[in-house]
């Protein structure tokens, strides 16, 4: 566990970006395609903690990026090379572009200065999107990774960030996965 001094060096607002991962209505909202994950994100306090971090980032001038996973209604560009992707096609709530399912979920507030990045494929918001280029253009050295799920998207995001030279910080109380003991 990092000490306060170590974290204060890492979390320089000029070089730190807060990333929310899949904190969207169709994933963590009341009408989620993944009700067990949505329930865990809410009951554990993770979603509320993400909202608090976002609010604090807005107050301190820290850049926030919201990473949304979605599919085109015609499915073009979506991956089919993993069972997870094929299973997602059968879920009752689809993460379709332009629908409420792909809007950032309450209680998280999206400010005018926030960036919202959408991905049509893959398991991480960094690979195959503009996130890496945005982070570099913003002068990011430290990426705070929050959201869901601790089972898939969060570890993939951390691996991709570290492999690209960023320092990743994951607040344990601002991520959720299923089962609940999957997260620290």
Whether residue 155 contacts residue 28, with contact meaning beta carbons closer than 8 Å, is answered with no
Q: What is the pLDDT of residue 82?
A: 67
Q: Which range of residues forms the domain containing residue 118?
A: 12-182
Indicate whether 1 belongs to any domain. no
Please state whether 9 falls in left (phi above 0), alpha (psi between -120 and 50) or beta. alpha
Instruction: Let me know the angle formed at the C-alpha of 119 by 68 and 44, rounded to the nearest 5 degrees.
Output: 30
Angle between the N-to-C axes of helices 35-43 and 46-60, in degrees from 0 to 180, rounded to the nearest 10: 60
> What does the alpha-carbon distance between residue 82 and residue 35 come to, in Å, rounded to a whole number?
21
Question: The CATH number of the domain where 98 resides is what?
Answer: 3.40.50.850
**Structural domain includes residue 6:** no
What does the CA dihedral 107, 51, 144, 67 come to, rounded to 10 degrees?
10
**HSE of 113, CA atoms in CB hemisphere, 13 A:** 13
Q: What pLDDT score does 77 carry?
A: 75
Q: Please tell me the predicted confidence (pLDDT) of residue 1.
A: 52
pLDDT in tens, the chain (184 residues): 556 666 677 789 999 999 999 999 999 999 898 999 999 999 999 999 999 999 999 999 999 999 999 998 887 877 766 676 666 677 777 788 999 999 999 999 999 999 999 998 888 999 989 999 999 999 999 999 999 999 999 999 999 999 999 999 999 999 999 999 878 7
Residue 184 pLDDT: 75
Give a yes or no: residue 129 inside a domain. Answer: yes
Question: CB neighbours of 13 closer than 8 A, spacing ≥ 6?
Answer: 60, 61, 62
Residue 5 in any domain: the answer is: no
Per the structure, the count of domains in the chain is 1
What pLDDT does 8 receive?
Answer: 73
> Is the residue at 7 inside a domain?
no
Entry pTM: 0.92
8: which strand partners? none
In a domain, residue 72? The reply is: yes
pLDDT of residue 171: 97
């Amino acid at each position: 566990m990092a000490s306060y001094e170590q974290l204060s060096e890492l979390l320089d607002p000029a070089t730190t970006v807060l990333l929310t991962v899949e904190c969207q209505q169709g994933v963590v909202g009341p009408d989620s395609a993944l009700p067990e994950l949505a329930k865990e994100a809410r009951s554990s306090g993770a979603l509320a903690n993400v909202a608090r971090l976002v609010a604090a980032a807005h107050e301190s001038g820290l850049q926030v990026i919201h990473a949304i996973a979605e599919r085109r209604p015609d499915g073009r560009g979506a991956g089919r090379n993993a069972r997870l992707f094929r299973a997602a096609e059968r879920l009752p709530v689809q993460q379709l572009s332009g629908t409420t399912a792909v809007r950032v979920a309450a209680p998280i507030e999206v400010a005018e200065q926030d960036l919202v990045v959408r991905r049509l494929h893959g398991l991480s918001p960094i690979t195959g999107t503009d996130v890496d280029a945005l982070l570099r253009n913003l002068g990011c050295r430290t990426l705070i990774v929050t959201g869901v799920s601790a089972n898939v998207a969060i570890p993939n995001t951390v691996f991709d960030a570290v492999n690209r030279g960023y320092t990743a910080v994951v607040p344990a109380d601002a991520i959720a996965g299923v089962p609940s003991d999957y997260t620290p």
